[in-house]
Chains A and B, each alone.
Chain A
Amino acid sequence: MPETSTVADAITYTPDTPLTAEEKAKLEPSQRGNDPLLHVEHLVKEFPVSSSIFRRNSKRAVHAVNDVSFDIYPEETFGLVGESGCGKSTTGRCLMRLINPTSGTVVFNGEDVSDMKGKELKNLRHDMQYVFQDPYASLNPRMTIGELISEPMYIHNEGGTPEQRIDTVRELLKVVGLNPEHINRYPHEFSGGQRQRIGIARAFALHPKLIICDEPVSALDVSIQAQVLNLLDELQQEFGTAYLFIAHDLSVVQHISDRVAVMYLGSICEMSDWRSLYAEPCHPYSQALLSAVPVADPDLQRSRERIILAGDPPSPIDPPSGCLFHTRCPIAQEICSQEKPELREIEPGHLCACHFAKPFPIEGSSIKL
């Protein structure tokens, strides 16, 4: 895999002398010199378009994920942010093989997941868990929350005797801030935020190494959202779990993530540690996205110059030529519709896919936080 070395190795930190555990803990998870827990390379997912309005043997497809590469390190929170339909969930589902990628490599914990079958796949789903946006749709309404949370232990034949499993469930309920007495209640008896806690307790039942959190707080009110974000934070500290945190809300992603990738139309357009992305966005789309988020501070909001992007994102069935963003980019040049910009490293650990990448590329408009 020589051609991807820039992407995969960009953040690897190689100290001259080995670090002590204490020194290591102070570094960002991606800089501790550990091997990545998850390695994604040239991931592609196309959904064939089967609508009758297209000719039957046409090759048209939804290009949902288009050559995506990134790494997630142990104990790290990696944020994946972008507008609806840009391919975030599809990426997450490919990683866990809930759907099969069209092409590309996914290596989890040193093992290639692409050809996993049966037992291997089961093991994968032991160490990698998924938390969904809508906890109600993802929790079987006929099962009590005790059954729901212990189900993974039954599937994987873990957790000891039934009594021990119940003890574990009670413990988990306590950890996520629910009343262990409610173990025999059904999901509909809980509020949205509480159901999300149930989903999280279930995801943690097997102490996975990675949890894909797919918009886990998007449906929640702010006060409840803050409870769940803090819970995820605490659980990560306690269990050292890594998260792939998918969301469309940039402030939430910034708050929880160590590193962030911005997606547009199935591709990553910028990726860096949370601080550089928010302090110095280098891709016009990231800059526009950041400037579009209204901040809860009227003074700041009035003084900010805003970039309003025109139009809607193009269809992933017919993605634009060259740079995927060129149809909406305020600084697009001729080359942009002809040549696809590579995701390249512009600063250590800061990658950007734009021919004209630089901090605040859209002139006359800098978002000062």
Chain B
Amino acid sequence: MAFGKKKSGEAVDPLANTPLNNIMDEVVDLKEQPIPEGHHLLEVDDLHMFFHTKDGVVKAVNGVSYTLDRGETLGVVGESGSGKSVTAMTIMGLIDMPPGKIEGGDVLYRGRSLLQMSEREMQNVRGNDIAMIFQDPMTALNPVYRVGDQIGEPLRIHRGYSKKDAVDRAAELLSMVGIPNAEQRVREYPHEFSGGMRQRAMIAMALACDPDILIADEPTTALDVTIQAQIIELMQEMQKQNGNAIIMITHDLGVVADIADKIMVMYAGNPVEFGTADDIFYNPIHPYTWGLMRSIPEQVTDEKKPLTPIKGNPPSLVTLPKGCSFSPRCPYATDLCRNQVPLTYTLPDGHYSKCHYALDPDFIKGRAPENSRTYAGGNPRVVVDEPAGAPVAGMAKQAPGTVTAVDGALAQHDTKAASAEEGEE
């Protein structure tokens, strides 16, 4: 672990070591603190945050756990309303409490609990240590201020830059993120920027203080694919230079395949599966992850494969189904699933899944979708010492329409469920 020593002497940030930098001396610069032994840069541990509304309790963050180190990128995927943004905003201390309330768990940044910090401390963390960019840059950019003043603002707040120095630095940052004529552009207003340029300006603003962690909430969702490709490349380049960690929130499995080292799949406020990108794409063990993969059109040039959607709609976070929250839509749900909330089952390498059958290789084999590695020659789907690539039986793979397991397979599975109920835990 590199302990995230900031390379501030480099051309990236020529002003970082000037005396101006010490104006904020009474506040500890957290990102300069070493990460305590046994800790990660960011540790989210069984975080629960519910909204208490007049319509009931919205269980928006319902047991989220992951760790993140410098230089790493975590992809957070899931359908809209699954709690991706609210999780990020809880970490950033941006949720109004009430109606929000932390119901359990913790968030440790360099070993220190963000949840215990005062609002004043959090203000210093935001922008300086952890920065966030949003889907719609217009919500974060103020239309009546010049772009340069806005990008320079975190430098004035966190680093004590003068107004002029901040604007000069803003121009450097803008040209760094690929905006031509940056010296003139800093004097323009947000509406004079195109969508892609606004997102670049947001990235420049987020990176102004060289944060440890960049949280990007659907930064490319509103952009066209050619502009999306530019922005993703920019984020990756900046990460290479600065060594920061990235949390990339998106609903697009293609984007996470492109950029993420680790992936968390969220469903109904809950991470249902977490693992490396390879785990999630080539060895997924949760039926919701399978459903997502079968729903996206594959790029092919031979035979088109029918899509297999997930039937039904996501549940309301106020009245979550009993048992596994995916059970009403899961083609493999059993009585066990409908009655008991599955535990988190973690494989030795940290890959985890919240499904009663996560550790049952027979369940997974034959139900998980094919992928380019299994096509290429059979790769065992789960840590089992069985011959790889055995043809799949039981379920009509790639069948059109909604997945419904063949009766026999379901029945067989039911008996297994019963034994699992006795045997497991």
Contacts and interface: CB of A to CB of B under 8 A. Distances in A.
Interface of A: 83-84, 191, 193-194, 221-227, 229-230, 248, 250-252, 254-255, 275, 278-279, 288-289, 291-301, 306, 308-310, 312, 369
Interface string B247-271: 0000111110110000000000000
Given A278-B301, A289-B225, A297-B371, 9 more contacts: A83-B227, A224-B309, A230-B306, A251-B296, A252-B297, A278-B299, A296-B296, A297-B257, A301-B254
Nearest to B178: A310
Contact of B226 (A229, A298, A309): A309
A222 B253 contact: yes
A246 to B, nearest CB: 14
Nearest to B82: A221
A222 B301 CA distance: 21
B299 A308 contact: no
Contact of B227 (A275, A279, A312, A369): A312
Interface string B280-297: 011000000001111111
Contact of A230 (B313, B373, B400): B400
B401 A296 contact: no
Contact of A308 (B233, B277, B282, B300): B233
Chain A contact residues, majority secondary structure: helix
Contacts of A309: 226, 229-230
B150 to A, nearest CB: 21
Contact residue range for chain B? Answer: 35 or more
A227 B401 CA distance: 8
Nearest to A84: B224
Nearest to B297: A255
Contacts of B67: none
Contacts of A194: 313
Given A83-B226, A250-B225, A306-B229, A222 B371 contact: no
A293 to B, nearest CB: 6
22 contacts: A83-B224, A193-B313, A222-B253, A223-B291, A226-B294, A226-B296, A226-B310, A250-B225, A251-B298, A252-B297, A254-B304, A275-B301, A294-B257, A295-B299, A296-B253, A296-B257, A297-B372, A298-B258, A298-B281, A299-B372, A312-B197, A369-B299
Contact of B278 (A83, A298, A300): A298
A225 B306 CA distance: 13
A51 to B, nearest CB: 14
Given A296-B257, A309-B226, A222 B308 contact: no
A308 B307 contact: no
A36 B195 CA distance: 39
Given A223-B79, A248-B224, A296 B293 contact: yes
Contacts of A312: 194, 196-197, 227
B228 interface: yes
Given A278-B299, A279-B301, A298 B225 contact: no
Nearest to B298: A251
